[in-house]
Amino acid sequence: MDTKQKNRRNAAPARRSRSTKAAPERRRKTGRAGTPDREERKLRVQQRRRAKIKNPPRQQRVIRPPREEVPSIVYTAPKPMRRGAFAWKLISMAAVVVAVFLGLSVFFRVDTITVAGADKYTPWMIRQASGVETGDALLSISEARVASRIISDLPYIDEVKVSRKLPGTVEIQVTELQVTYSIEDENGGWWLIASSGRAIEAVSLEKALGYTRVEGLAIRTPTAGAQVQALPGKIIDPGEGTAVEMDQTDADQQLAALIAIMTGLERSRIIGEITVIDVTTITDLRLEYPQLLTVRLGDDEQLEYKISYLAAAVEKLEANQSGELDLSLEYTEKAVFTPAR
């Protein structure tokens, strides 16, 4: 027993020395917590990931219907035309147009001229003023020129409508002026004028008294068919009997007020009922009715409204009632009637 125990004791240090020697060798193989093995594992993991990124898993193939082929549009720029060729084409086209026009002119000639709407002038007078004659080329007639000739030659004509109808008819429709105003010129002559201010014709004093007379405005001696022109100078106020000096601006303002009054009277259909239009004082415009009724319009503001109000106000007056009807709207927006004493 003693020898066995001794042998065990002697063998125990040898085992310890083996174990103590093997531990450093293991540590050398694994290093710090097995560093070489971990590096290899990491490297393998990284290689796998790279392989997955480079070769992703295949997806199922989606079968799509074939696309319809769209025809491609090819734009080809036009070839530049030579100047000579372009000019030749223009000349050719112009020649064709001229030839067609001349051909039509030969076939379509005026053979009938009709006139409608004339009262003061005969159809023959209107045809003569138009300048259109039978045998003229129908398509070469200018409708605007024909109308202009008629209006300039015949002062009582207000509007003209000309129309051409194949194969050879020219129709002329005229509208005549409704003249109701007379005015005295600088030389003492009397003229009939339209509401637009156009001079119609010179007349005698006796004939002028049969129209609505304009007082308080001097005009230059006009020509038939032309616009009247206001003349500056001294005007006698018929109410006060004193001379009123006016420059060209005042005279033009009076003429504009006169035209506004005449136009308003025609629109309100009070034509021929007024005997006198007095524009001597621009701030006190007046109208005279046959039954000694004086109408004060005041200044030249809102003349169209005042005259439209006049028609309704006169209807409310009794027959042959005389006095003064104030439409100046200076103190009130209503008409004020003051009967004569």
Distance of alpha carbon 76 from alpha carbon 73, whole angstroms: 10
Find the Cα–Cα–Cα–Cα dihedral 43, 48, 50, 52, rounded to 10°. -170
pLDDT for position 30: 47
Distance of alpha carbon 144 from alpha carbon 314, whole angstroms: 43
Beta-strand pair 169-176/112-116: parallel
Q: Running DSSP on this structure, what letter comes out for residue 66?
A: P
Which long-range contacts does 283-289 make (Cβ < 8 Å, 24+ apart)?
Answer: 284/328, 285/257, 285/261, 287/261, 289/314
- 307, two tokens: 């005259």
Distance of alpha carbon 146 from alpha carbon 162, whole angstroms: 7
The angle formed by the CA atoms of residues 218, 222 and 226, to the nearest 5 degrees, is 120
**CA distance from start to end of the chain:** 180
Contact in structure between 314 and 337 (CB atoms under 8 Å): no
SS3 35: helix
Distance of alpha carbon 119 from alpha carbon 129, whole angstroms: 15
Give the burial string for 28-42 (b: 16+ CB within 10 Å, else e): eeeeeeeeeeeeeee
- 74, two tokens: 């090819």
Q: Which of 251, 243, 336, 254 is nearest to 296 (CA)?
A: 336
pLDDT for position 73: 63
SS3 120: coil
pLDDT for position 169: 92
Contact in structure between 214 and 182 (CB atoms under 8 Å): yes
Q: Running DSSP on this structure, what letter comes out for residue 129?
A: H
Using only the alpha carbons of the chain, give its radius of gyration.
55
Distance of alpha carbon 245 from alpha carbon 285, whole angstroms: 17
Which H/E stretch holds residue 296? strand 293-298
Contact in structure between 138 and 166 (CB atoms under 8 Å): yes
Contact in structure between 214 and 277 (CB atoms under 8 Å): yes
- 35, two tokens: 């560093």
What is the full per-residue pLDDT of the chain (341 aa) written as tens digits?
445 454 455 544 444 444 444 444 444 444 444 566 778 887 887 777 776 666 555 655 656 666 666 566 666 666 665 666 667 777 777 776 666 655 555 678 889 999 999 888 999 999 999 999 988 888 888 899 999 999 988 989 989 999 998 888 999 999 988 888 999 999 999 999 999 999 999 999 999 999 999 998 989 999 988 999 999 876 666 556 666 677 899 899 999 999 999 998 888 888 778 899 999 888 899 999 877 788 899 988 888 888 888 877 777 777 667 888 888 877 777 778 888 77
19 contact partners, CB below 8 Å, separation of at least 6: none
Q: Crossing angle, helix 123-130 and helix 143-153, to 10 degrees?
A: 120
